[in-house]
Amino acid sequence: MTVSSARPGARTVQRLEVLDVLRGVAILAMLIAHGVPFLWPTGVSRPVEMTLGAINAVASPLFGLAMGAAAALVWARPTTVRTWPRRVLTDVARGVVIFAIGMLLVELDTWVAIVLQVLGVLMIIGLPVAALAGVALRPDPDASRVQWLLLAVTVTLFVLAPWVTGTVAPAEERLANGTTGGLAEIWAAFIAGWSYRAVSLLPFFALGAVLAATRLLQRPRTLFQWALPAPLVLAGLRLVGVLGPAELSGGYLDQWWDLTLVTAATAGVSGIVGFGAGALRSTSRAVADLGAIALSVYALQLVVLRPLMEWGAWRESSALGWLSMAALVLIPSAAMVGWRRVLGPGPLERLVALVTGKGRAS
């Protein structure tokens, strides 16, 4: 299902609603996860703690999936020997700019482990996967074979990524994301980060490319039917003890738990977009607006977070802790959804498009 760009008088741009809602859910999960420390001083019940932990865990891999799908759709556009180098350079430039924005946001000195550096590196190392998916999306008699090849690559990445991460960057050699600077920051974003690393997100990037290449994103009801069994099976394996709790970020158990949450989110979003009506559809459209300007939302919530951290009254009151978290989620969300509906693309989306020579942001 596609929706058009919301800004009145703007050039009409067709977007995939499922993709924007998935990205919106990912950024909402990040906003909530960044507010969890407001609840630490007074504590929360075990069920709430587990729910917040799942929200925190799903955010970055779900964003990786959305990035892979979006990159595949871009690479499906017609290309020639003359134009593909420019497309490569554009994507690399976007990765570099997003990495740089992440490093600037580190200077706000919040408690957030900034993920943008990792997403910038992911955009670059995911280029071959996106290009392969783009071939699978074009009208070609060999497209189905390429889809199978892409699926094989995705499965291989899910098998290899935890092994590579654990071998190259074991626990004692991990680096805190956003604190090292220089080449060490690139190494952390690539493979050695304690909280996030591009190698761990690459399988989810590839999975998003598969969803795009098979055109399931354009058929939300079919996507729901395909996506629903996976989280049920994986959650069942965890309940019976076959899959235990993760001990190290990026390990096999951590990856399978992330896959459980990502497939559950994909099933939920595709079900809402495909079958939802009334207030449910209105909410999904607001989340889609949020997803379309996720980069600007991410940056704004850090600006909102800084004074909330310094306020300090939340340390003594559970109610004020929850109020602070609500403010962290609602203020940037409402502000940027309003921006999107009145002015169109977010300010950082416009900046990235301008700097990389992509043209207009959509």
Q: What is the DSSP string of 291-336?
A: HHTHHHHHHHHHHHHHHHHHH-GGGS-HHHHHHHHHHHHHHHHHHH
Q: H or E segment at 14?
A: strand 14-16
pLDDT the model gives residue 324: 95
- Provide long-range contacts, Cβ within 8 A and 24+ apart, for 173-177: 176/113, 177/113, 177/114, 177/115, 177/117, 177/118
How many other C-beta atoms lie within 10 A of the C-beta of residue 1? 16
- Provide long-range contacts, Cβ within 8 A and 24+ apart, for 210-213: 210/133, 210/147, 210/150, 210/151, 210/154, 211/65, 211/69, 211/266, 212/68, 212/69, 212/70, 212/72, 212/73, 212/76, 212/133, 212/137, 213/72, 213/133, 213/136, 213/137, 213/146, 213/147, 213/150
Q: CA–CA separation, 353 vs 351, rounded Å?
A: 5
- Residues near 287 by beta carbon (within 8 Å), at least 6 away in sequence: 20, 21, 24, 25, 28
pLDDT the model gives residue 360: 63
pLDDT the model gives residue 139: 77
3-state DSSP assignment of residue 348: helix
pLDDT in tens, the chain (362 residues): 444 444 433 433 457 889 999 999 999 999 999 999 999 998 889 899 989 999 999 999 999 999 999 999 988 887 655 677 888 898 999 999 999 999 999 988 899 989 999 999 999 999 999 999 998 888 777 778 889 999 999 999 999 999 999 899 888 888 888 776 778 889 999 998 888 899 999 999 999 999 999 999 999 999 999 999 988 888 887 777 666 666 778 888 889 989 999 999 999 999 999 887 766 777 888 899 999 999 999 999 999 999 999 988 999 999 999 999 999 999 999 999 999 999 999 999 999 988 887 656 66
pLDDT the model gives residue 7: 43
Here the tokens at position 164 are: 């590579």
- Residues near 86 by beta carbon (within 8 Å), at least 6 away in sequence: none
Tally of CA atoms within 13 A in the half-sphere of 320 that contains its CB: 10
pLDDT the model gives residue 151: 94
pLDDT the model gives residue 12: 39
- Residues near 208 by beta carbon (within 8 Å), at least 6 away in sequence: 64, 65, 66, 67, 68, 69, 70, 71, 72
Locus of tokens 């071939």:
135
| Cβ atoms 258, 205 nearer than 8 A | no
